[in-house]
Amino acid sequence: MKLYSILDLSYVDEEDIAIKAESICDSGINMLQLRAKNHGPERILEIAKIVRPICLKYKVPFIINDYPEIAAEVSADGVHIGQNDGELEEARNLAGNCKIVGRSTHCPEQARKAHEEGADYIGFGPLYPTATKPGRSAIGLNEIALVHNEVPLPIFCIGGITEQTLPEVLNAGAQNVVIVSNLLQSEDIKSYVLRIQRIGKK
């Protein structure tokens, strides 16, 4: 099981960005995304320039949410776009030399389309209600196995996943997961990730 972490600035104070990014990258996660929904592009670029060297130090792929131009400017490894963020090929072109382009999907049809568009991976969710996606209905666990059978891409299940809900997510067929608030709010990120990885190996 791969664990994808999102450095979501809704849960991280700006003065703690570097130390939080360091803790996450040192914990054994497989990818780190910078997500800053309430920040303008100029500030996101400044923050990305702080996080990028930390990811390089730990050899953790660095993904920028929503802004392919910023991904290009900081030489990030990838960009992640939502359903309403335009064509995937356009994002790939704007992201310059980024190797990875991910797409958020909320149903099997969107997942299939993302594969047809040439996505390198997809996020699939939100599985549970989550404060990081206010107003978006949870899709539940019933279609996880179906999507894995139909879409030959790395699929990262996302949305309200916690240490407590992870076992049922994996039992429903998930192979990789994204954990946001539960990870960011843990007292010791390294210990938390270790526990998550143990659950993933059961």
pLDDT at site 202: 77
b/e 142-173 (16+ beta carbons within 10 angstroms → b): ebbeebbeebebbbbbbbbbeeebbeebbebb
Pick the CATH number of 2-201 from 3.30.420.40, 2.40.50.180, 3.20.20.10, 3.20.20.70: 3.20.20.70
CA–CA gap between residue 121 and residue 140 (Å, rounded): 20
Phi, psi of 170 (to 5 degrees): -65, -40
State pLDDT tens for residues 85-127: 999 999 999 998 789 999 999 999 999 999 999 999 999 999 9
Strand partners, 65: 80
CA dihedral 139, 84, 17, 75 (to 10 degrees): 130
CA–CA gap between residue 122 and residue 133 (Å, rounded): 16
Quick one: tokens of 119? 């996505």
What residue ranges of the chain have pLDDT lower than 50? none
Q: Cβ-count burial of 111 within 10 angstroms (0-12 exposed, 13-18 middle, 19+ buried)? A: buried
pTM of structure: 0.96
